[in-house]
Amino acid sequence: MYLANPITKLFDQLHQALNQLTDIEYTYLNKALLNATIGQHVRHIIELYIELNNGYESGVVNYELRKRNLQIETDKIYAADQLCIIANSLNKVDKILLLETDYSMNNLSTIQVQTNYFRELIYNLEHTVHHMALIRVALFSYKSITVDNDFGVAVSTIKHKKDVCVQ
């Protein structure tokens, strides 16, 4: 499936960064992340894909139901394993889904909006890039860690930069 390739590329980049981090760096409350950790951002990325997979089976996706699994945010090896599991589960047939959410403060105004699996994969892909951009900011404080030039950069931005260079 077409979307699996760019998502897998992002996961590979993220996995390479995780391999370079120490456990302390992965769980460090980083001021550049407003005292969040790289692990918390990785967990957030992973859990949205998990909720999409759960929703694929049930027909209803609700990202607010994510578990906030502390093992993902504290154990970088476990997080990397989860990225592999998700990458191997991406090749599903597109189908109609309902996206369920509640933006009220009292949890009494749940709404459902029609969507589909491919649209939600695109959302998750863009969401992954966004969080990888934040992670990249945190990685700047670790001089020994190197990432690809396009780590945390949207494909549209990469294309635009190439077009500008060609001109």
pLDDT tens track for 58-113:
999 999 999 999 999 999 999 999 999 999 999 999 999 999 999 887 777 899 99
pLDDT given at position 45? 98
pTM: 0.92
| pLDDT band for position 166 (cuts 50, 70, 90) | low
Report the helix count and the strand count for the chain, using DSSP H and E.
7, 3
Give the closest residue to 87 by CA, choosing from 25, 144, 45.
45
Domain count, the chain: 1
Structure tokens belonging to residue 29: 């409350």
Sheet arrangement for strand 96-101: 60-61, 96-101, 111-116
- Domain range enclosing 115: 4-166
Task: Identify which has the larger pLDDT, 158 or 9.
Answer: 9
pLDDT of 29 strictly over 80: yes
| pLDDT band for position 160 (cuts 50, 70, 90) | confident
CATH of the domain at 22: 1.20.120.450
pLDDT given at position 167? 63
| pLDDT band for position 15 (cuts 50, 70, 90) | very high
**101 DSSP β-pair partners:** 111
**98 DSSP β-pair partners:** 60, 114
Other C-beta atoms closer than 10 Å to the C-beta of 128 total 24
Give the closest residue to 87 by CA, choosing from 127, 114, 49.
49
